[in-house]
Amino acid sequence: MPKSRSERELSRLELAVLGLVSKGAPCTTYWIRRQFQGSPSSYFSGSAGAVYPAVRRLEQRRLIAATTERKARRASRRYRLTPSGKRAIKAWLLPPLPAADVAFTMDPVRTRVYYLEALTAPERLKFVDNALAQARLQATLAQAGSVERREAEDLFDYLGSLGAVHEARARVRWLEQVRRTLEQSPG
């Protein structure tokens, strides 16, 4: 028996949209898109072709509901979570975390390191130096973003951004170690 649309698991995008609605309600799809576009992560582009259909799917499953605001300067559908939407977001957050979500890490820099053999020794060093420079920049940006959120209203935005800081710094330390190893290894 094929799974019906309404019992299939929510996609990552749908989950993220659900979370954004929980924070930004009552919000428009347009606002949701901008959150994706403004996010430092480029995992989702926030393209209209993805977000509008995702919102519609969530609405069809009665996880979110719209109130059409006519009072506002322009007509817009503003969404909020329904009771079952609140249940859905709890089910997503409540332990235990699915193993795949904990194991999941995909770092394009690390992927490249695995295949660095294909370069000459000096090319490898140039690669690492470049990666290091960019990683340091990322770490600085993450730190700045975190400080910015620190005094702000939303504790969980701050705690999340702290995760990005830790990750960025770990990448810097790792690349420094890689550099030292390559310098010492027989070219």
Partner DNA sequence: CCGCTCATGTAACTGGTTACATGATTTA
Partner DNA sequence: TAAATCATGTAACCAGTTACATGAGCGG
Distance, CA of 21 to CA of 32 (rounded, Å): 8
Nearer to a copy of itself, 4 or 105 (CB): 105
Binds DNA by CB under 7 A, chosen from 18, 20, 21, 33: 33
Nearer to a copy of itself, 28 or 35 (CB): 35
For 18, other C-beta atoms within 10 Å of its C-beta total 22
Distance, CA of 170 to CA of 140 (rounded, Å): 13
* Choices 7-15, 107-115, 139-147, 150-158; region in contact with DNA by CB under 7 A: 7-15
Nearer to a copy of itself, 23 or 62 (CB): 23
For residue 49, state whether it binds DNA (rule: CB under 7 A).
Answer: yes
The size of the chain, in residues, is 187
For residue 39, state whether it binds DNA (rule: CB under 7 A).
Answer: no
In angstroms, give the least distance from the CB of 144 to a copy of itself: 14
131 binds, among DNA, a copy of itself, none (CB under 5 to 8 A by kind): a copy of itself
Cα first-last separation, the chain: 59
Site for DNA in 62-101 (CB under 7 A): 72-74, 76-77
105 binds, among DNA, a copy of itself, none (CB under 5 to 8 A by kind): a copy of itself
Q: Which of 85, 78, 92, 50 is nearest to 64 (CA)?
A: 85
130 binds, among DNA, a copy of itself, none (CB under 5 to 8 A by kind): a copy of itself
User: 131 vs 68, 84, 115, 146, CA distance in Å?
Assistant: 48, 45, 15, 22
Whether residue 82 contacts residue 65, with contact meaning beta carbons closer than 8 Å, is answered with yes
Q: CB-based contacts of 118: which residues, under 8 Å, 6+ apart?
A: none
3-state secondary structure at position 73: coil
In angstroms, give the least distance from the CB of 53 to DNA: 7
Q: Under the rule (CB under 7 A), what is the footprint of DNA?
A: 8, 11-14, 28-31, 33-34, 44-50, 52-54, 72-74, 76-77
